[in-house]
Structure 1
Amino acid sequence: MASHKQAFWFGVRDLLPLVSGVLPFGLIAGATGVSMGMTPEMIMGMTVLFFAGSAQLAAYSLIQDNAPFIIIVLTVLVINFRFVIYSASFAPLLGPLKKRYRLPLTFMLSDQVYGLCSMPEQQAKSNGERVFYLAGVAISMALSWFISVALGVALGASIPASWSLEFTIPLAFLAMLVTTITNRRLFLVACISALCAITFQLLPYNIGFIAAVVAGVSCGLLLPNLLQKRVGKHG
Structure 2
Amino acid sequence: MAGPALGLAAWGLVTGVAMVKSGLTVAQALGMALLVFAGSAQLTALPLMMAQAPFWVIAAAAFCVNLRFVIFSAKWRLYFGHLPRARRLLMGYLAGDLTFVNFLRRFPVAEPGPGQAPYFWGAVAVNWGAWQAASVVGIVAAHDIPAHWGLGFAGVLALLGMAYALLQERAQWIVAGVAAAVALLAYHLPLKLYIMAAIVAAGAVGWALDRRGSDERR
Q: Is 1:81 aligned to residue 67 of structure 2? A: yes
Q: Is the 8 A contact 2:8 2:131 kept in 1?
A: yes
Structure of larger gyration radius:
1
- Sequence identity percentage: 29
Question: Post-superposition shift, 1:228?
Answer: 4.6
The change in CA–CA distance for 1:191 and 1:36 in structure 2 (over 3 A counts) is closer
Match of 1:221 among 207, 214, 217: 207
> Which stretch shifts more, 80-89 or 217-226?
217-226
Match of 1:53 among 21, 39, 56: 39
Letter in 2 for 1:30: G
Q: Is 1:207 aligned to residue 207 of structure 2? A: no
Partner of 2:183: 197
Partner of 1:70: 56
Partner of 2:136: 150
Question: Post-superposition shift, 1:207?
Answer: 0.3
TM-score, normalised to structure 1, is 0.86
Q: CA–CA distance in 1 between the matches of 2:40 and 2:82? A: 30
> Which stretch shifts more, 150-159 or 59-68?
59-68
Q: CA–CA distance in 2 between the matches of 1:24 and 1:64? A: 23
Question: Post-superposition shift, 1:128?
Answer: 2.8
Partner of 2:163: 177
1:9-28 residue pairs with structure 2 within 5 A?
15-28=1-14
Runs ≥4 residues deviating over 6 A: none
Q: Is the 8 A contact 2:80 2:112 kept in 1?
A: no
Question: Post-superposition shift, 1:113?
Answer: 1.0
In structure 1, stretches of 5+ residues that fail to align are: 1-14
Question: Post-superposition shift, 1:17?
Answer: 0.7
Match of 1:123 among 108, 113, 116: 108
In structure 2, stretches of 5+ residues that fail to align are: none
TM-score, normalised to structure 2, is 0.92
> How many aligned residue pairs are there?
217
